[in-house]
Amino acid sequence: MSTLSIQNLHACIASQPETEILRGLSLEVPKGQVHAIMGPNGSGKSTLSKVLAGHPDYTVTSGEILMNGESILGMEPDVRSRKGFFLAFQYPNEIPGVSNANFLRAALQARLPDGEELDATAYYKLLYSKMDMLEMDRKFTARSVNEGFSGGEKKRNEILQMAMLEPEFAVLDETDSGLDIDALRIVSKGVNALRGPNLGILLITHYQRLLEYIIPDVVHVMVKGQIVKTGGKELALELEEKGYDWVTETEAILA
């Protein structure tokens, strides 16, 4: 039951119902494990992450998404979040004028029962400890969310939010894209620190490089909106060596 279970999922862009992007995708991420999805550009990886988070631009036409046995399909994005789902965005949005500290505080406050106030002292203590882990400057708290951030800072900020919100399942969408090695190391350190029996992680990536820092338990290969191959961490190396054409050909045979 403690899984994120995606069953035969079909989805399209809401405004283009004739073009199916996810075409019967299935996979299960149990808590305590790290799964990776690799795939060529245009295979629908980022669509999957948005569909899981409930983005209004996409329509699920059939299939099911269960989190701990409960369907999250009809839920609003914020309800999914409060239920324990987290998406680290590939391109995090900027929110001018809203400080990081206030933003996280509002997100945590939204998780408390009505009438209960967040303990500010404990909050800042926790925030600073997580920021230290991610080697973030204290001045960060006063800056507007993602505004004027470098690519690396944005990605670190995503991991900081994940650390603070303590989700049960997290999808990291191309978290490695645009990072230099130093930034990749810091971000990976943060993710690894959060690994544990209470968190299931799904890494979406185009490159094998990230998987050298965050060792996955399972690797899925996604092509044209479906998982075409699943294996252990060695599958990533094989892909790196042989390229995506190898699986594409495999898929052609399967089809």
Partner 1 sequence: MSTTAIDIDREVGNFTYDIKPYRDSGFGLSEDTIHYISDVKDDPQWVRDFRLKAYQTFLDKPMPTSWATKDLEAIDFSKIRYYLSAQAKTTRSWDEVPDDIKKTFERLGIPEQERKFLAGVEAQFDSEAVYSNVKAAVADQGVIFMGSTEALKEHPEIFRKWFGKVIPTGDNKFSALNSAVFSGGSFIYVPPGVKVKHPLQAYFRINSENFGQFERTLIIVDEGAELTYMEGCTAPKFTTATLHSAVVELVAMKGAKIQYITVQNWSSNVFNLVTKRGIAHEDAEVKWIDCNIGSRLTMKYPGVVMKGRRARGEVISIALANDGQHQDTGAKMVHAADETTSNVISKSISVGKGRATYRGLVHIPKHLKGCKNNTECDALLINTTSRTDTYPAITVRGTGNTTQHEASVSQVSAEQIFYMQQRGLTEGQAMSLSVNGFVNDLVRQFPMEYSVELKRLIDMEMEGSVG
Please give the residue ranges that form the binding site for partner 1 (CB under 8 A). 53-56, 76-78, 80-82, 86-87, 89, 92-98, 102-104, 106-107, 110-111, 144, 161, 165
Q: Which is nearer to partner 1, 82 or 189 (CB)?
A: 82
Residue 212 CB, shortest distance to partner 1, in Å, is 28
Q: Which is nearer to partner 1, 59 or 102 (CB)?
A: 102
Q: Which is nearer to partner 1, 45 or 80 (CB)?
A: 80
Q: Is 131 exposed, middle or buried (0-12, 13-18, 19+ CB in 10 A)?
A: buried
Helix (H, G, I), strand (E, B) or coil at 194: helix
Residue 206 CB, shortest distance to partner 1, in Å, is 22
Residue 57 CB, shortest distance to partner 1, in Å, is 8
Q: Which is nearer to partner 1, 106 or 193 (CB)?
A: 106
Q: Which is nearer to partner 1, 61 or 109 (CB)?
A: 109
Question: Residues near 41 by Cβ (< 8 Å), separated by ≥ 6?
Answer: 206
Residue 181 CB, shortest distance to partner 1, in Å, is 27
Q: Is 241 exposed, middle or buried (0-12, 13-18, 19+ CB in 10 A)?
A: exposed
For 180, other C-beta atoms within 10 Å of its C-beta total 10
Residue 207 CB, shortest distance to partner 1, in Å, is 24
What are the b/e assignments for 17-53, b being 16+ CB within 10 Å?
eeebbbbebebebbbebbbbbbbbeebbbbbbbbbbb
